[in-house]
Structure 1
């Protein structure tokens, strides 16, 4: 993308942000200065808690009331710091808009998707309700939502996490803003939809001159989409420059460490059985004698008659003791539904489910509670899984209170402190509430909560999606270490194929609710038999802007040939 010349659409000069908390003032951002020109994308990268999202929120005046802001922020010439809510309301949604990291915080759970998008349109443009509704459907189509007319009538809970994120993006681009602030806009998206969304945002920037402030920990996305990069550490910018310069010739040691931690998908070489860091695969991984969890010909259908949605169709998979099985596929492919079936949270319309050898559908009452106490769960959205009224320590301790009521308070506190330390969280964070933490920190709290009972099975639904690459590596090492120590099995749901390749011994590939391929990780990802799996692998971004530019050109050529009926 070529940046247009002209006045900066975003100007940040000497920005400082400090949060007042019950435990004292917490400085989050120190003397940050940056600019975004029309048609340009500036990527803001750094570890979880480095201040990236705080800068993004400050750009639109969205910081909470306990934030003290100094310095200057201007969007399209409008001063943000010190402006009243009326001025900021006119600014947001029209001149500037935002894609939030967690769609659960941006969508009204009680309002249909189409209506929410239409409201954004009508709040800023004089169009009729019918015109806004039609625009909403077209926006859903643009961001890759299947059957957009029907999905417009759905509620947020009826969509997958990735689909909800696409809805949030549709709302953000509804009025063709001059500035788009995107806080981890592709976190919940699979690699193929991620590529499509980046192409869409790139088209928006090229056609209407929209400037983009992109907050992300995905260096592949940075390489694919950004013009310039600013690297943050402890609330300060430590390096900035053109994307090729920063990613290929980094000057700062911290930037070099970030890039070294990026998981890379190996697509050449001999097929291997999977990660050497994880426990060994059982001798017969496809049908272990005593599987921890087994789904046999499981089908799931949501709704009835004409409005029914088929989520799974005759899916079979097993997870053996001490084994990690990766469940991959596009957003809406049924990955999370399969995981929820294994947890007993979704009742299948057909097939059988067993957990620790027991028929989950026939187990009731105390026996069911005892069975499920052996399962730890990390959900995709930490905001939805953590009680905002509790402290971090209380959130982690809750499973111990529910399932181990005879444990003494001192022992419980010690177990919680140990688990928080093992997932890389500082002791001082234990007294804070979940909403006082960054997205990545909240995800680590969810992991500590899931492992505090030392489960026999860990079901992890996108457990590293909100984590920067260095913390991601640390968390995966923690899971692998605890897995070796405790011997639990793991059903690992992810759209990050590089992480799955490093962590799982076997892979199950889902598409439209059906298994299209499964087998040892090395064989499946290095020698895929399905064209769908090959497309997934080809769409994985790498942290090299030169390679990503070539891939975009190849993708564009393939699309053009397909449009003329030519097979590339």
Structure 2
């Protein structure tokens, strides 16, 4: 018997401009203890299917077909019936735990509330159950952490709290919608191990919605591939990832960046490092930089004696776990943070000693692309206005006509059609918004581009397009790039050198292929080992070799 049965599901949204079909004729099932991965690009209908299974579609959705969870019909059920199912029979883990948790309520109380909603227990019993659940999901000092607020926990700990809430009443079905997208590779590996253990121990079926093919290879039993609202291919994880039958699946897999650490040393150019770029003067250089936040006992060391540099035309990958100091180092390079000690040289000038107009002129040579383009672009502005804003600030002598011409040139460079110039950021797809951010960063023809997790929230094909655009423009314009990322496969493809950070210090650095193929430190080896590869057979062998599971 399946814990989830979907037959001929259709979902259509009624909008002001007419009906929009989102899902057509989708049939799926999930058995107890099994993980079904639902993959596809943004807009393919994955999340719509997941929300339909929870009965959480908005009021403008028309649903046809049949959905049953543990034998209980979902389509046509009233709010009372659905409320009784959610949290008890079926639970959901969302991509961003910060939006799933109440920031003003202690995490123990939030878990206890879920327990009391479906069990006749006292407040004291629910509080003890919350502590036990925190212990079960691997939160250290659960008695102490139960009294913490969400903002006092790390991203990985918040995701564990969300999982504790989801499993509080031992549901038969767990729906996980991109549960590891915002996490670094080591925390991602821990969360996947936790979900794997829960499925094995309690027989919970898992519907995993993701665009990360490495996660699919590491965690799923079967895969369903969606394209424009339809399932175009289903099968075992080995069949779909290693022997795909549909052309779309093959294109999707071809776009996945692959870590070369598991490939033979003699294959292709693996293990070979490119020649160092010309030019001895660094575009940006941090020398023995230290940054501390807070005072007294609450002082937190963010950076400690960090030295790194980026040469002209070079891309340096800055990698490490969350909290390692990557983004802090990038903010220092951008002049957004003044170090407590050490110095920052930008284009050969001491940034700490530069003031006023000279400092603004210096910083105008730096472009920035951030992880979330929605937060970095003004929703009230059009695409043209967003891209032109740096010109209005730093090129005051330009006329309106000259600004429009320059914006049109840059939009063409980043492969955006001119027809999008008048739209707002929220009218664009995720990949289009990120290319608008890139155009804005390049409109002043910077000598240095700082990219902080620019592709982590994008699906693989859009990620591939954005990275290709950056690489092509770097070749044409010759800017240097400081690339901050937790995706080692992307860094391996994109960067000539890599700097590995740990707890605010530089753990290891060197040419990318040398460092990732032959790491010198145990920390770097663990970081690389935590990256799942999109090959289920190879990933299973890696887990055995790392002692993560018994050899079959």
Contact 1:447/1:463 (8 A) holds in 2: no
Q: CA deviation at 1:281?
A: 3.4
Q: State how 1:391-540 maps to structure 2 within 5 Å.
A: 395-396=386-387, 398-400=389-391, 402-404=393-395, 423=414, 442-540=433-531
Change beyond 3 A, Cα 1:415–1:242: farther
From 221, 224, 242, give the equivalent of 1:227: 221
Q: State how 1:129-278 maps to structure 2 within 5 Å.
A: 164-267=158-261, 268-269=264-265, 271-274=271-274
> CA offsets, 1:277-313, max 9 Å, x none?
xxx63357xxx42x33222222333333344433322
The answer on 1:20 being equivalent to 2:19 is no
Which secondary structure does the structure 2 equivalent of 1:263 belong to? Answer: coil
Change beyond 3 A, Cα 1:318–1:122: farther
Q: CA deviation at 1:405?
A: 5.8
TM-score, scaled relative to structure 2: 0.85
State the alpha-carbon separation in 1 of the partners of residues 2 and 182 from structure 2: 33
> CA offsets, 1:522-567, max 9 Å, x none?
211122111111222223222221222223333346899xxxxxxx
Q: CA deviation at 1:358?
A: 4.2
From 285, 291, 296, give the equivalent of 2:287: 296
Cα RMSD (Å) of the superposition? 3.6
> CA offsets, 1:441-483, max 9 Å, x none?
5545544444444433222222221222222222111001111
Q: CA deviation at 1:204?
A: 0.9
State the alpha-carbon separation in 2 of the partners of residues 390 and 64 from structure 1: 28
Contact 1:163/1:332 (8 A) holds in 2: no
State the alpha-carbon separation in 1 of the partners of residues 81 and 18 from structure 2: 31
Contact 2:8/2:24 (8 A) holds in 1: no
State the alpha-carbon separation in 1 of the partners of residues 417 and 91 from structure 2: 33
Aligned to 1:563: none
> CA offsets, 1:107-138, max 9 Å, x none?
44555655555555555555666666666666
State the alpha-carbon separation in 2 of the partners of residues 558 and 68 from structure 1: 45
State the alpha-carbon separation in 1 of the partners of residues 363 and 332 from structure 2: 12
Contact 1:19/1:28 (8 A) holds in 2: no
State the alpha-carbon separation in 2 of the partners of residues 66 and 387 from structure 1: 28
TM-score, scaled relative to structure 1: 0.83
Q: Mean Cα displacement is larger for which, 447-456 or 180-189?
A: 447-456
State the alpha-carbon separation in 2 of the partners of residues 504 and 365 from structure 1: 33
Aligned to 2:536: 545
The answer on 1:320 being equivalent to 2:291 is no
Contact 1:389/1:433 (8 A) holds in 2: yes
Q: CA deviation at 1:200?
A: 0.8
Structure 2: unaligned runs, 5 residues or longer:
none
Which secondary structure does the structure 2 equivalent of 1:251 belong to? Answer: coil
Contact 2:278/2:312 (8 A) holds in 1: no
State the alpha-carbon separation in 2 of the partners of residues 94 and 16 from structure 1: 25
Which secondary structure does the structure 2 equivalent of 1:224 belong to? Answer: helix
Contact 2:441/2:449 (8 A) holds in 1: yes
Structure 1: unaligned runs, 5 residues or longer:
1-5, 275-279, 561-568
Q: CA deviation at 1:519?
A: 0.8
State the alpha-carbon separation in 2 of the partners of residues 62 and 394 from structure 1: 37
Q: How many aligned positions are there? A: 545
State the alpha-carbon separation in 2 of the partners of residues 273 and 232 from structure 1: 38
Aligned to 1:100: 94
Contact 2:382/2:424 (8 A) holds in 1: yes
State the alpha-carbon separation in 2 of the partners of residues 369 and 113 from structure 1: 44
Aligned to 1:11: 6
Q: CA deviation at 1:99?
A: 2.7
Aligned to 1:45: 39
Which secondary structure does the structure 2 equivalent of 1:54 belong to? Answer: helix
Contact 1:443/1:467 (8 A) holds in 2: no
State the alpha-carbon separation in 1 of the partners of residues 166 and 290 from structure 2: 35
Q: CA deviation at 1:329?
A: 1.5
State the alpha-carbon separation in 1 of the partners of residues 77 and 392 from structure 2: 46
Aligned to 2:277: 282
Q: CA deviation at 1:72?
A: 3.8
The answer on 1:555 being equivalent to 2:546 is yes
Change beyond 3 A, Cα 1:39–1:526: same
Kindly name which structure, 1 or 2, has the bigger radius of gyration based on alpha carbons. 2
Contact 1:228/1:241 (8 A) holds in 2: yes
Change beyond 3 A, Cα 1:431–1:518: same
State the alpha-carbon separation in 2 of the partners of residues 166 and 443 from structure 1: 29
Q: CA deviation at 1:250?
A: 1.1
